[in-house]
């Protein structure tokens, strides 16, 4: 073994590795290689004697705080937080069901006095009164006998009347009585917050042209 | 695996267990690499804060958590070094200009010598000698060939041996 080969192995030897008999014999015969070996052995010894440093103890508390902060941000809401939300949803659903179930209805007089400024118009696109009319809003209710309504359509003030060639659509909907009064319809009710069921004649442009009142539902409270 | 899953689910005890198991190695590595206890503490904190915020980044199939955390430590150190290279604080200038203290212990002397090594040699010494990692583990951590780790370690030890010998000669 020569010095170059020995130097390739010397560090492994100094780190506690095995060494061949040839290398050992070379170290004994070569002063320079022996010194190198002693130097590396001393280094290994010093490295082993290094005390194990400890991290500052307060670091753990700091990191735990950060961990808890991040967990609070990421954590989904606890079930007990959702309870009031669920109660609110149930109450809202109950209120809506109660409202749509069977509201007390008030029959409106058989004929609504037409305001003088509003001209009566003939409901051209509407089907004949003796046939059931198509109703746009289908509701899952008990099938009822088609109700014949003899009330005429009343033109909504300040709107263009439906032209003879124009096609229209009748939609049954609930309208706030207050809005109808604001439009000039003379509706006699003590409850301004009530809703009126009405057939609304809608032109091709999507605008309401005329209204036919059916009934007024007063608020249940 | 269970500990990791609990940690990801936000279990405080699981995080404490992980921290207690892995922070000594992270802190030691940071301390040997920086040679500064305060900086090592900061780096250790950065590593675990990163882990808290990126709990899903660790894939157990790719290796042990300890090795993964040492890799994160190394990246944070590299970034800190590249940031620090832009500034030369007055303290460092004074430190390099002042003569080495005679009464420092052998351990301090060795730590100082290690901290003064070029980064790639320092990493090899810290991982292979001080952290007693195998060449394979160190190569995986440093993302280089096994032979590269070995040659870097040899070169680093030569430099350290020479430096310590010179100091010994001065002190006699």
Nearest to A74 among B10, B49, B165 (CB): B10
Nearest to B52 among A36, A44, A66 (CB): A66
SS3 content of chain A, % helix, strand, coil (to 5): 40, 15, 45
Please check whether residue B154 touches A, CB under 8 A. yes
Nearest to B157 among A43, A62, A64 (CB): A43
Q: What does the pLDDT read at residue A221? A: 47
Q: Which residues of A touch B49 (CB under 8 A)?
A: 63, 66
Closest CA of chain B from A75, distance in Å:
8
Q: What does the pLDDT read at residue B3? A: 86
Q: Which residues of A touch B29 (CB under 8 A)?
A: none
Cα A132 to Cα B106: distance, rounded to the nearest angstrom: 106
Cα B35 to Cα B29: distance, rounded to the nearest angstrom: 10
Q: Which residues of A touch B40 (CB under 8 A)?
A: 53, 55
Please check whether residue A4 touches B, CB under 8 A. no
Size of interface A-B (CB pairs under 8 A): 79
Cα distances from A49 to residues A40, A42, A53, A82, B99, in angstroms, run 14, 11, 12, 59, 25
Q: What does the pLDDT read at residue A78? A: 58
Q: What does the pLDDT read at residue B153? A: 92
Residue keyed to tokens 């090795």: B67
Q: What does the pLDDT read at residue A74? A: 67
- For A110-221, where are the E strands, in sequence order? 154-155, 169-176, 195-202, 208-217
Closest CA of chain B from A27, distance in Å:
17
Q: Do A64 and B27 touch (CB under 8 A)?
A: no
Q: Do A59 and B106 touch (CB under 8 A)?
A: no
- Decide if A180 contacts A143 (C-beta within 8 A): no
pTM above 0.80, yes or no: no
Residue A114 has pLDDT above 80, yes or no: no
Please check whether residue B16 touches A, CB under 8 A. yes
Cα A108 to Cα A150: distance, rounded to the nearest angstrom: 13
Helices of type H across A50-155: 58-74, 79-101
**Closest chain A CA to residue B108:** A50
Q: What does the pLDDT read at residue B122? A: 93
Strands A154-155 and A169-176: unpaired
List pLDDT tens digits, range A161-195.
777 778 888 888 888 888 888 888 877 777 778 88
List pLDDT tens digits, range A6-38.
877 778 777 877 777 888 788 888 888 888 888
Nearest to B52 among A40, A55, A67 (CB): A67
- Decide if B84 contacts B37 (C-beta within 8 A): no
Residue keyed to tokens 């002397």: B109
Q: Do A50 and B110 touch (CB under 8 A)?
A: yes
Q: What does the pLDDT read at residue B124? A: 93
- Decide if A216 contacts A105 (C-beta within 8 A): yes
Domains present along chain B, CATH in parentheses: 1-97 (1.10.1740.10), 101-172 (1.10.10.10)
Q: Do B19 and A44 touch (CB under 8 A)?
A: no
Q: Which residues of A touch B167 (CB under 8 A)?
A: none
For every residue of A201-220, which 3-state class applies, written as one string?
A: EECCCCCEEEEEEEEEECCC
As averages over each run of 10 residues, the pLDDT of chain B (172 residues) reads 85 91 92 88 93 89 89 91 68 48 69 88 92 90 91 91 74 48
Interface test with A, best of B161, B165, B169 (most A CBs within 10 A): B161
Cα B149 to Cα B155: distance, rounded to the nearest angstrom: 10
For every residue of chain B, which 3-state class applies, written as one string?
A: CHHHHHHHCCCHHHHHHHHHHHHHHHHHHHHHHHCCHHHHHHHHHHHHHHHHHCHHHCCHHHCCHHHHHHHHHHHHHHHHHHHHCCCCCHHHHHHHHCCCCCCCCHHHHHHHHHHCCCHHHHHHHHHHHHCCCCHHHHHHHHCCCHHHHHHHHHHHHHHHHHHHHHHHHHHC
- What's CA A39's distance to the chain center, in Å? 71
Cα distances from B76 to residues A57, B19, B49, B95, B115, in angstroms, run 21, 17, 12, 24, 17
Residue A217 has pLDDT above 80, yes or no: no
- Decide if A183 contacts A157 (C-beta within 8 A): yes
Q: Do A59 and B45 touch (CB under 8 A)?
A: yes
List pLDDT tens digits, range A42-98.
888 888 888 778 888 888 988 988 888 887 776 655 566 677 888 888 888 888 887
Cα B149 to Cα B137: distance, rounded to the nearest angstrom: 10
List pLDDT tens digits, range A119-158.
444 444 555 555 555 555 555 555 555 556 667 888 888 7
| C-beta neighbour count of B53 within 10 angstroms | 13
Please check whether residue A59 touches B, CB under 8 A. yes
Cα B75 to Cα B20: distance, rounded to the nearest angstrom: 21
Q: What does the pLDDT read at residue B22? A: 92
């Amino acid at each position: 073994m020569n010095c170059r080969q020995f130097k390739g192995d010397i560090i492994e030897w100094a780190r506690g590795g095995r060494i061949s008999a040839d290398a050992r014999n070379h170290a004994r015969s070569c002063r320079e290689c022996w010194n190198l070996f002693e130097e590396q052995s001393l280094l290994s010894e010093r490295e082993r004697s290094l005390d194990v440093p400890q991290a500052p103890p307060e670091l753990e508390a700091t990191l735990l705080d950060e961990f808890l902060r991040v967990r609070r941000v990421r954590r989904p809401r606890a079930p007990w937080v959702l309870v009031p939300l669920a109660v609110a949803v149930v109450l809202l659903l109950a209120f809506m069901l109660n409202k749509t179930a069977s509201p007390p209805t008030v029959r409106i007089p058989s004929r609504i006095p037409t305001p003088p400024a509003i001209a009566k118009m003939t409901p051209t696109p509407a089907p004949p009164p003796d046939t059931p009319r198509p109703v746009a809003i289908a509701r899952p209710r008990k099938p009822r006998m088609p109700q014949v309504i003899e009330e005429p359509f009343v033109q909504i003030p300040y709107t263009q009347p439906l032209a003879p060639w124009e096609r229209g659509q009748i939609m049954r909907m609930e309208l706030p009585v207050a809005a109808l009064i604001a439009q000039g319809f003379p509706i006699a009710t003590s409850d301004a917050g009530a809703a009126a069921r009405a057939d609304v004649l809608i032109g091709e442009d999507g605008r309401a042209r005329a209204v036919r009142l059916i009934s007024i539902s007063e608020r249940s409270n | 695996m269970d500990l990791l899953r609990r940690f990801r689910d936000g279990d405080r005890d699981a995080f404490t267990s992980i921290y207690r198991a892995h922070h000594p190695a992270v802190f030691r590595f940071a301390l040997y690499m920086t040679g500064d206890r305060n900086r090592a503490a900061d780096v250790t904190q950065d590593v675990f804060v990163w882990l808290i915020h990126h709990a899903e980044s660790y894939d157990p199939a790719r290796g042990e958590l300890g090795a993964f955390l040492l890799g994160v430590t190394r990246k944070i150190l590299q970034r800190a070094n590249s940031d620090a290279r832009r500034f030369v604080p007055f303290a460092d200038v004074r430190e390099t200009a002042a003569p080495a203290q005679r009464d420092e212990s052998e351990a301090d002397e060795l730590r100082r010598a290690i901290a003064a090594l070029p980064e790639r040699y320092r990493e090899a010494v810290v991982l292979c000698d001080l952290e007693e990692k195998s060449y394979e583990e160190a190569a995986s951590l440093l993302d280089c060939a096994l032979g590269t780790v070995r040659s870097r370690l040899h070169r680093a030890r030569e430099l350290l041996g020479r430096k310590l010998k010179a100091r010994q000669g001065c002190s006699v």
